[in-house]
Chains A and B, each alone.
Chain A
Amino acid sequence: MSGSAWFYVEPYIHISMMRDAAVLYNTLNGALIEADYPPVVRLVERLSSATNLRVVELTNSEVADVHVMAFVQSTKEAFVGDLLDQAFSRGRPIEMMPLLHLQDGAFQGSADTFERSGQDIMTYLTEVTVYINTSCDRCCPTCRQAYRQFLACTRGMGSSHELDIVHIAKLVEETQGSGLTRVNIVGGDLFQYSKFGQLTDLMSKVQALKIYVTHYANLLGRDESLSLLAADKSAELRILVDFPLDEERFGQTVPLLSKSGIRYGIDFIVQNESDLQSAEGIVTEMQNQVVSFKACYNGANAEFLKKALFLSREDILDAKPSLREIFARMAVNPLAFGRLVVLSDGAVCASVNTATRGQLGQDSLYDLVYNEMVSGTAWRTPRTAAGPCQACMYNLLCPPRTDYEAALGQQNLCHIRTASPAAIEDMK
């Protein structure tokens, strides 16, 4: 280096700043640089300003400060930043630093945001989960909890309901202009739905993946229903398996499924290490079968859940979110966005854990989507909006909130930090 230099940070770096600390995250290699030394934090602030565009000249005091220069060197080693001799050019370069922009103004908060919230709004609806009934002859121990945490059947909380097929038909009609890619059909025992034949016929016309969810014990003797499902080539069966397992019944189920020709996958509901071991034993015997493990909080197994679900700093960094994923996490909850749930009594919500936004049969799907988009709390509520995550510098690197947070009654599922409300206020 012959003389003065420009110090710059690359455009693929995500910078997170709180009042007295900064994190620079390399979205290409997962490298992370943390800084709380005040002159370094001020340097990162300067880099992030609207006029510097991530390119600054180091001041004399910065050059003389070994800690600042060590930071500069560490950015270089991690391919986070670099130095450019000013003699290379006749003017200061720029970096197009990552600033999220939505062309319809929705993120910038422009005056016409409200108007545009309704523009092409139905294309945002990508997934609908329909609880068609509550009736079921079984009494599973996780019936009241599992469906609040992941896609699972339930007998529901109140009186018996069955969703009117007319309302389902209307729902299907109103999704024609939508971005629907997936419909989940769940009970109760969905095979007890009184218009099951009509339902499968209706769903076969929907240009989306259909996932029918059932407990394994409800499959025996349902050959006719299974053949209806198998006739729809864009339908799949998701089979819930919990423990203790009725081995005889489960053993009879697998050949039945194979015979029906329907595509299916198995979700093992695990509440403890023992369940997990049992599930893994079954998986070993079922080669090439699509399976997943669903940890289920039952009110008394928090430690197991922590072990199964909670993320460490390393877990978060290993995920290596892209810049676009980070942008998406700034604006919305990507896991919740575009999803609606219809309960068997017709109530519609963004998730089983959020408030009802309306009623199928009374409100149009357009109104329901619009209400969630404009005033809902699920789709457009990023992790950064509330709770301890607000004050966490990893908040945009962390996966979006899921239904587990609601089920466990806490807003972060990580081992990093649990900031007190006072600390959060202090960070703002």
Chain B
Amino acid sequence: MPELTGAAPSSLITFKTQAGNRYAYSRTMNQFLLLHPVLDKLLYLTKEGVDVSNWFASLPNEGTVVDDCGRVSKGQIEYYVRKYRLLADNGYFDQVDQNARLSGTLSAEHVQSLLANVRHVVFEVTDDCNMACEYCAYGKYYSDYDERTGKYLDIGVARNLLTYLLEAWESPLNASHNTPIHIGFYGGEPLLGFGLIREIVDALKHQTTAHNTFSFSMTTNGVLLGKYMDFLVENDFQLLISLDGDETNNAYRILRSGKPAYRATVKSVLALRDKYPDFFIQKVKFNAVLHNRNSVAEVYAFFKHTFAKIPMISGLDTVGIAAGKADEFRSMYRNLHESLTDAANCSSIEADMFLGLPDVWALGNTIYQLSGCSFRDYSELLYGRSQTLIPTGTCLPFSRKLFLSVNGKILPCERVGHQYSLGSVDANGVTLDPADIAENVNQQRAAIRSACVSCCRADICNVCILQQDIQTHTSCPFFMDADDYRGYLSDRLSKLEENRDYYSRLLHQSVAIE
């Protein structure tokens, strides 16, 4: 791994798309410019340290040769020199002080505020499961999790966390009003711990709060749905059911008995659909894991035809692979982008799944972050983006979620290794120190900041250093120098040139960018 520190990146990046169109992206103005070759030439000269005015003054009257244009008259070049000056005068080429920009830190007060505004709380009901999927994140391929012992979350521990959070939600630091707080249940298979789920749901249903209501969600393998569906429907759960496609596609999902899980899952899902068709349409989603026994096209077709649904498709988690298992894991892994482009009906799948696919999401992300048209909320619209950032795309603690593990650990989310615990809950209450959390976050970010300062994508980084287990400034595999960033922007705008209708479609979506 090369040393990732160096000079701050240029604030203006020029690049060509696959079709050969020239663009510049100005970080200062957060805007893409379509470039005439002469203007592109002037920007190139600037990058090379040439003074554009002197260069122009030294031109002969017949002009000069510019790439793609042939000979260009001095009069025509003069026009682009004026345009160049207009852009320069308006700050398009101003250098961003990357050190100052990435100097943000977290304070204990900010952590308290984030905690009082946490909108999604997930309980790991149990680490027990009625299935033994081969690729399970708590299975043989992974090493970054607490040992699974068939444990169930203690209801007293769950209650203690809720008591603590209810106090925070009722405090004046809570800035939201009349919005739901989403309570999620996760496993193992959460329905194995149905008693705890029922207790929490019943408690919160009867809880009076000044600012919030509660909504419920669950990720389940679906096998026990038939038994508990009345309760789930009655409490308006949002369900995410894990299923990888048809019987062949689903081969890695097996019951503890060793039998394939497909039939048991589909039987329960169909029972739910038949008994509660409206609920099924509105509240049930599917997630399929992509691997070497299915493909994007197969998964898409299965869910479309069997359940009239568009599934979410996720790749196998590539972080935390156990020593000695890498080759075996690699043979199971399938790349989502490649699987999609292999499909005969790639375009129609993409148009239908749209933001559910990583390529479209990446394009959307580029437009939301870099077009200058998209704003997080009214505050950003009115007052502009924050001048300082806390480096990396790692969510700030509690900004999106709080996850309580079956062992009582408080984590930022379920995808983060348990070594990144933010606090704990036991029978005596909650142990959580905002000052400690802030200090830990600041230390983590300080360790990588010097790489971020010279990374071209630092402004729009979406890398979770906890999920990726990136601990030092030399270990970020997502670091982008100017050439990398040129390629990145070129890919995105090439895709947009090929799918022009995506632009307005993406700008009519409601999204959550962190």
Contacts and interface: CB of A to CB of B under 8 A. Distances in A.
- Our verdict on whether A and B bind, yes or no, reads yes
Interface of A: 8, 10-12, 28-29, 50-53, 55, 76, 79, 82, 84-85, 87-106, 108, 110, 112-113, 115-124, 173-179, 323-324, 327-328, 331-332, 334, 337-338, 364, 366-367, 369-370
B20 interface: yes
A79 B84 CA distance: 10
Chain A residues touching B, majority SS: loop
A95 B177 contact: no
User: Which residue among B19, B20, B34, B372 has the maximum number of chain A CB atoms within 10 Å of its CB?
Assistant: B34
Contacts of A82: 36
A327 B509 contact: no
A395 to B, nearest CB: 18
Contacts of B511: 103
B20 to A, nearest CB: 4
B378 A337 contact: yes
Contacts of B375: 100-103, 327
Nearest to A83: B36
B178 A370 contact: yes
A102 B376 CA distance: 6
Given A95-B34, A96-B32, A97-B503, 17 more contacts: A53-B503, A89-B21, A91-B17, A91-B19, A98-B372, A100-B373, A102-B378, A103-B513, A105-B509, A106-B377, A120-B176, A123-B379, A177-B113, A324-B372, A332-B381, A332-B382, A366-B211
Interface in B489-514: 493, 496-498, 500-501, 503-505, 507-513
Nearest to A54: B34
Interface residues of B, number: 68
6 contacts: A79-B82, A101-B508, A118-B211, A176-B172, A178-B175, A327-B381
A26 B360 CA distance: 31
Contacts of B36: 82, 84
B374 interface: yes
Contact of A366 (B113, B177, B498): B177
Contacts of A12: 29, 31
Contact of A103 (B83, B116, B374): B374
Contacts of B180: 115
A89 B378 contact: no
A104 B33 contact: no
Contacts of A79: 82-83, 86
B367 interface: yes
A396 to B, nearest CB: 14
Contacts of A366: 177, 210-211
B68 interface: yes
B379 A29 contact: no
Contacts of B79: 76
A337 B20 contact: no
Contact of B32 (A11, A99, A112, A331): A11
A12 B32 CA distance: 10
Interface of B: 17, 19-23, 29, 31-34, 36-37, 68-69, 79, 82-83, 86-87, 89-90, 113, 116-117, 119, 171-180, 210-211, 367-368, 371-379, 381-382, 384, 493, 496-498, 500-501, 503-505, 507-513
Given A51-B500, A96-B32, A90 B176 contact: no
A296 to B, nearest CB: 28
A116 B510 CA distance: 10
Contact of A177 (B87, B175, B373): B175
A421 B368 CA distance: 38
A149 B375 CA distance: 31
A124 B379 contact: yes
B79 to A, nearest CB: 8
B19 A89 contact: yes
B367 A108 contact: no
Contacts of A116: 179, 510
A367 B211 CA distance: 9
Given A8-B34, A124-B379, A94 B500 contact: yes
A94 B496 contact: yes
A108 B504 contact: no
A112 B86 contact: no
Contacts of B69: 85, 88
Q: Which 3 A-B residue pairs are closest in the complex by CB-CB distance? A: A105-B510, A91-B19, A89-B20
Nearest to B511: A103
A28 to B, nearest CB: 5
Contacts of B376: 102-104
Contact of B176 (A76, A87, A118, A175): A118
A93 B22 CA distance: 8
B37 A96 contact: no
Contacts of B17: 89, 91, 93
Contacts of A28: 86-87, 89-90
Contact of A99 (B33, B113, B172, B504): B504
A89 B350 CA distance: 26
Nearest to B498: A91
Nearest to B503: A53
Nearest to B513: A103
A177 B510 CA distance: 25
A8 to B, nearest CB: 6
Contact of A11 (B31, B210, B501): B31
A96 B20 contact: no
A96 B32 CA distance: 7
Contact of B33 (A11, A85, A174): A11
B372 to A, nearest CB: 7
Nearest to A95: B34
Nearest to B494: A91
Contact of B175 (A52, A95, A122, A327): A122
Contacts of A93: 17, 19, 21, 23, 34, 497
A366 B31 CA distance: 36
B377 to A, nearest CB: 5
A149 B470 CA distance: 57
A267 B377 CA distance: 34
Contacts of B497: 91-94
Contacts of B373: 96, 98-101, 327
Contacts of A119: 119, 176, 179
Nearest to B16: A89
B32 A103 contact: no
Given A79-B86, A115-B180, A124 B510 contact: no
A98 B173 CA distance: 35
A106 B33 CA distance: 28
A50 B504 contact: yes
Contact of A90 (B20, B29, B37, B210): B20
Nearest to A114: B178
A119 B377 CA distance: 10
A101 B505 CA distance: 11
A87 B23 CA distance: 16
Contacts of B32: 11, 95-96
Contact of B493 (A94, A99, A369): A94
B177 A108 contact: no
A367 B175 contact: no
